Amino acid sequence: MCTYWVVCGCGGVQTCGVWGGEYAGCVRVGGRGAGCSGYVGVARGHEWVCGAEAGRPGGERPGPGACARRPAVCAAKLRPRALPGFPPPRPAPSPSPSPRALPAPAPQTPGRRLCRRPEPLQGAGATMHIKKYLLKCLHRLQKGPGYTYKELLVWYCNNTNTHGPKRIICEGPKKKAMWFLITLLFTSLVCWEWGVFIKTYLSWEVSVSLSIGFKTMDFPAVTICNASPFQYSKVKHLLKDLDELMEVVLERILAPEQSYGNASKALNSTIWNYTPLVLIDEQNPHHPVVLDLFGDNHNGSAPGRTCTAQACKVAMRLCSLNGTVCTFRNFTSATRAVTEWYLLQATNIFSQVPNQELVEMGYPAERLILACLFGPEPCSYRNFTSIFHPDYGNCYIFNWGMTEKALPSANPGAEFGLKLILDIGQDDYVPFLTSTAGARLMLHEQRSYPFIKDEGIYAMSGTETSIGVLVDKLERKGEPYSQCTMNGSDVPVRNLYSDYNTTYSIQACIRSCFQDHMIRNCSCGHYLYPLPHGQRYCNNREFPDWAYCYSHLRMSVAQRETCINMCKESCNDTQYKMTISMADWPSEASEDWIFHVLSQERDQSTNITLSRKGIVKLNIYFQEFNYRTIEESAANNIVWLLSNLGGQFGFWMGGSVLCLIEFGEILIDFVWITIIKLVAFAKSLRQRRAQACYAGPPPTVAELVEAHTNFSFEPDVPGPGPDPGTYPDEQTLPIPGTPPPNYDSLRLQPLDIIESDSEGDAV
């Protein structure tokens, strides 16, 4: 077994031990004043605690030098530990070897149990150091920098690297004022220039650079459409009632007197009742008269009154809420008015026809494309991708790059471009729907949707149109320099053209935004734009007010501005600049044999089935392989900003970045001192409010003692004090002491009063 004795005394703690019955020597582990308070030892299987830390049963505490015992784990060697609040004990130096030195303890043998005390926690010391460090930091913060405002300002002026503040401190009064004004003036000038530079930098201006490159380029995608969206022979049954009504309207406009008797002709008045055409007589501008083309008066004029298109304006009447709210869309030309009215009515008809039937009513590729040649390689209509465009019907795209790799151009020049011969079939045009004859074409990037109505060009029939192409690549900087997007993912508008698997474009965004407003305001979608899933196109039968709603939304400036603000341009764009030239084709000398060959190839007929008014020849090619790159870059970058800020600061005040750091340090110290003063002021204010308020001057010490002293030796009145039973019967109560001396001398009195008192005493 291991046994230890702990002896406590004023000089410290002596620990002696016996290992295996042999004397192991004594080790002094130190003491702390009288009673070795706060140290422990292990003896006979118990832990002994000395001095103030030794506890006894019943809550009594032993005096200095006493020891108490509590159970502990026996240890192989003494490990004194310091109690909280006392420094750790210092081990005594090992005794020098002597002849009487005791042998070392024998090694542990089998069957002998070695007991150890638990090790103290390793993280306790680190936690204590952290607490001390934080406490020092708190005291340092409470103390502050140790300067006053004036001392801090003087120190800064003496030690800063800027020149003005030093002269303010070192010079005389007049020069001090002069240097103060100069320093203040130049400081204000520097701050103003800094503001100008920072404002210029935050304006995010860009500079445009133009570079020219040369390389082999991919041939652009080419979209070709017919000016007429449908073959009249296939849509005639759908437009029969509308065409008859159109003929009567034209007769009424051209010859109102002769056609008035035929106004009651059997017509489908349902179409006319929704959006009729009217004549507005403005002979009296303050009281215009509105006349229906079929003779109905809407403004109280005499029945049967007529008006020609030359004397009156033709307008379209649009009504909603069962005709209670109406508006008139005026036109300066009757031709334009009739065309817009017919297009609106045709839109109502075609919106109710399934899309597959509309495709079958358009011009098929095998009849539109007669011949194709790309460079030296022949091609046909099978190399084109078909899409349906509401304005132009079936359109065909060459080299779109959706399913195959884009075709490169081998060399610039007309011999290495795309050559096409088209038959637009002008004889089968819809008479009132299309007033233009020709082919509509557009050049665009691969995988982009062709907005051919806005960006396309016409090729006239009976001519050969040559188109030389130059490429411009636009690279915009992006936010915050410009409002552009890479792929449209950050645009808050659902792209309705994503079903075509095409890339983002601002045209797709604007049209998708308009269709979204159309659905929200009119409860239906317009026929000319893609339709979201679950929605329906507008028509007179299901949505009788759609024409009024569409016209109002189309004329709304707020709607256009909303869509323009929501949509963004693409950061990377490719534009194709075209140089167009035309010539008659075929010539009169070669017209006969060319038309015979083309008729034989397409219709297997020996007769000529083609005519000059339906033939279009196209040559599309790169003029050169040079391309221009228009790239945006930041006009004012961070290097420009820092160089200008530093240049102005150094020029006007001779400063640098370190001077700014010094100034920042002074500001922090100023704020630090201010906070400490405010805290001290708040504390003093709180203490003053907590003190008792006296009506007169505060009492003296003598007055306070007199108020609590028993001068007449009267017995104490029982009151709220100690219980009389505390004193035994045989023990008398304590006798009050003599009265205290007079302490009036401690009161501060004026000097003249003191002198008068001393003179009276002398007398």
DSSP structure string for 99-123: TTPPPPPPPP-TT-----PPPPPTH
Residue 176, CA distances (Å) to 57, 167, 543, 561 in order: 79, 7, 85, 60
* pLDDT score for 179: 87
pLDDT at residue 442 above 90? yes
pLDDT at residue 743 above 70? no
* pLDDT score for 654: 84
50-95 pLDDT, tens digit per residue, is 444 343 343 344 444 444 444 443 333 344 444 444 444 444 444 4
- DSSP designation for 417: S
Distance of alpha carbon 478 from the chain centroid: 14
**pTM as predicted:** 0.66
Residue 562, CA distances (Å) to 496, 514, 531, 646, 696 in order: 17, 10, 20, 43, 76
Q: Give the pair of three-digit tokens for residue 644.
A: 């200008």
Helices (H) and strands (E) in the chain, counts: 20, 24
Query: Contacts for 136-145 with beta carbons within 8 Å, 24 or more apart?
Result: 141/672, 142/676, 144/672, 144/673, 144/676, 145/669, 145/672, 145/673
Instruction: State yes or no: cis peptide before 718, omega within 30 of 0.
Output: no
pLDDT at residue 133 above 80? no
Residue 300 and residue 287: Cα distance in Å, rounded?
A: 11
CB 380 within 8 A of CB 370: no
681-737 pLDDT, tens digit per residue, is 898 888 888 775 555 666 676 776 776 666 555 665 555 545 555 445 544 545 555
* pLDDT score for 361: 95
Residue 178 and residue 165: Cα distance in Å, rounded?
A: 11
Instruction: State yes or no: cis peptide before 107, omega within 30 of 0.
Output: no
First to last CA, the chain: 92
CB 55 within 8 A of CB 69: no
* pLDDT score for 123: 59
504-530 pLDDT, tens digit per residue, is 999 999 999 999 999 999 999 999 999
241-298 pLDDT, tens digit per residue, is 999 999 888 888 877 655 555 554 567 777 888 888 888 887 777 888 888 777 544 4
The angle subtended at Cα 421 by Cα 419 and Cα 426, nearest 5°, is 150
Residue with tokens 């009424």: 252
* pLDDT score for 695: 56
